[in-house]
A and B are shown apart, each in its own frame.
Chain A
Amino acid sequence: MSILKANDIGISFGGVKAVDGVSFAVSPGQILSIIGPNGAGKTTLFNIVSGIYAASRGTIRLADEDVTGLSPHKLAERGLSRTFQNLQIFQRMTACENVMVGRHLREKCSLLPALFRAPSVTRQNRETRAAALDLLAYVGLKDVADMPAGSLPYGACKRLEIARALAAEPRVLLLDEPAAGCNAVETEEIDHLIRQVADRGVAVVLVEHDMKLVMKISDRILVLERGRPLAEGTPREVRDDPKVLEAYLGQHGAQEAARA
């Protein structure tokens, strides 16, 4: 039973079809990777699914509800969270505060008690901070909890984004290149993290260029090329697909690879 279902998604920018007729579905606990050469439309597809762009055609269903065209915060309320390829952390807030913002939907947020600092606000703050510290420990950032997020190294920021997304307790998590720019050790850590998240029953959709990581952790892989679906299947099926090899390596390279 799939929790997120995208059907025949399409979008054009000034006549260029950036995404054209892409469908996919993902179930709780499953990791679906979306791969493809640069410009294949992976991030655009993410932006449509998370409500940042409005698709010009197709529908998106989340937990059997039509959510096509809903704004990002409405989708977040329904259990969809994401990270960004180009980091979008709250630079001037501490690491802990970043994750606390992730708890936004789990918090009561009325203005008057906030202005006059009602005891309930202080209590809730304590609970939110404790939850945020747990998540920071989970992604290995507990030591830097009170550092400004802008001062953290790149790999730490990547994990911070994952922690913030998890803080919302999502049912579907979209990860846009979580391992980009990370070294081998950091990639390994992120690999474990994603697996653990999926094991908790979260449906994970992953865009990633690190093929080793993708092949290792994905349950299914969707390959895009120039906005169109090229192949879909298990990592093994996709790896052996001649069309995929050709898209990545060109016709000549694919022949070389076949001979090797």
Chain B
Amino acid sequence: MGALLNQRFLTLAVLAVVIAVLPLVFPSSYYFRVASLVWVSALAAIGLNILMGQAGQVSLGHAAFFGIGAYSVAIGPAHLGIPPWAALSIGAALSAVLAYLVGRPILRLKGHYLAIATLGLGVLVALVISTESRWTGGPDGMPVERLTLFGWRVSGSYTWYWVTGALLLVGTWIALNLDETPTGRAFRALHDSEVAAQVVGVDVARFKLQAFVIAAVYASIAGSALAFMNGFINPDQAGFLHSVELVTIVVLGGLGSVVGSIVGAAVLVTLPQALTVFHEYEHLLLGLIIIVSMIFMRSGIVPSLSGLFLRRARA
């Protein structure tokens, strides 16, 4: 217990130090921007990892909730006169309600069937966003009003680095909290054996739904943060490719590992930037690196490496 508590604090402390120290080595504001993108993707991935890694349920349409968060902070202030910070909360609430309503019927499905159902949800939301152009600006996207908090205008890549970093810390803290609670244990139990979880009294349908709603809220807040940061939003953020990217981050970093989601996001966001020197081979190399790392690190980067270190330490 003490060890686990320490591990939780250690993870948060290391993350805080990394966020604090990175700016010392960043040569330009471009680096701040890329790092902020990592923090935002990591936040969405941590949420999705609670659903996929802990509760063992797949979602191939998770960018839908990211999109709802993003468009809420765009549409709310522009069309409805809602203050930006309130629009973020409304977006999160909308995502939670949608996840709850859609999750009730589709979380009865298992495996491939659930994957297809969530895929359908993602496609549907993306479709609504790109066709309701009166509200959303259609395929061209729309501008997002700057976030103001208590008279403080949040803008610039330097500021957003700290805001998204703080969001990531809170998101990490919550995800780590959840692990060692009756709810977290129920998630992991139903992942390993639904029937055994049921016979000790776990209401499997209820906990799957909880995990889905939590994951949706994470994605929604991450989406809002990205929209504020970019000052502009387009339907791609809610699209299928973004859903796949989120799943890739979770699996590449390590299912069930909170740190894994952060590392996965770091790899998947920074690698394409680093590989631009290879010009037309960029995507080829990116794919190759993902394939090779999944072959050699089957349970994801973080669980595989920590397993390796533990074995070395014992030997």
Contact = CB atoms under 8 A, between A and B. Distances in A.
Q: Do A and B come from one complex?
A: yes
Nearest to A100: B185
Nearest to B176: A117
A165 B182 contact: no
A190 interface: no
Of the listed residues B181, B195, B199, the one surrounded by the most CB atoms of chain A closer than 10 A to its CB is B199
Interface stretch (A15-23, A36-44, A91-99, A229-237): A91-99
Interface in B175-199: 177-178, 180-186, 188-189, 191-193, 195-199
A111 B183 contact: yes
Among B1, B198, B210, the one with the most A-chain Cβ atoms within 10 Å of its Cβ is B198
B229 to A, nearest CB: 25
A93 B196 CA distance: 13
B200 interface: yes
Contacts of A124: 182
Contact of B200 (A51, A76, A114, A129): A76
Report whether over half of chain B's contact residues are helix, strand or loop; otherwise say mixed: helix
B203 interface: yes
Contacts of B185: 93, 97, 100-101, 104
A137 interface: no
B97 to A, nearest CB: 15
Nearest to B206: A73
A84 B188 contact: no
A18 B268 CA distance: 53
Interface in A147-199: 164-165, 167-168
Max chain B C-beta neighbours (<10 A), residue from A71, A82, A109: A109
Contacts of B174: 115-116
A117 B180 CA distance: 9
A114 B178 contact: yes
A251 interface: no
B198 A125 contact: no
Contacts of B182: 104, 107-109, 114, 124, 128
A169 to B, nearest CB: 11
- Chain A binding site: helix, strand, loop or mixed by DSSP? helix
A102 B200 contact: yes
B151 interface: no
A90 B200 CA distance: 12
Nearest to B184: A114
Interface residues of B, number: 29
A89 interface: yes
A101 B180 CA distance: 11
A54 B286 CA distance: 50
Interface residues of A, number: 42
A92 B200 contact: no
Contacts, number: 103
A26 B298 CA distance: 49
A24 B186 CA distance: 33
Nearest to A113: B181
Nearest to B188: A93
Contact of B1 (A81, A93, A126): A126
A93 B200 contact: no
Contact of B181 (A72, A121, A129): A121
Contact of B201 (A97, A104, A115, A128): A104
B198 A73 contact: yes
Given A107-B182, A109-B182, A114-B177, A84 B197 contact: no
A71 B108 CA distance: 14
B195 A105 contact: no
B258 interface: no
B259 interface: no
Contacts of A73: 198-199, 201-204
A70 B256 CA distance: 32
Interface in B195-231: 195-204, 210, 214
A81 B196 contact: no
Per CB-CB distance, the 9 closest pairs between chain A and chain B, nearest first, are: A76-B201, A88-B196, A72-B198, A114-B181, A105-B201, A90-B192, A117-B177, A109-B182, A88-B193
24 contacts: A52-B195, A72-B198, A73-B198, A73-B202, A73-B204, A76-B199, A76-B201, A88-B195, A90-B189, A90-B193, A90-B196, A93-B188, A93-B189, A101-B202, A104-B201, A104-B202, A105-B200, A109-B186, A111-B183, A111-B210, A114-B178, A115-B178, A125-B1, A129-B1
Interface of B: 1, 174, 177-178, 180-186, 188-189, 191-193, 195-204, 210, 214, 256
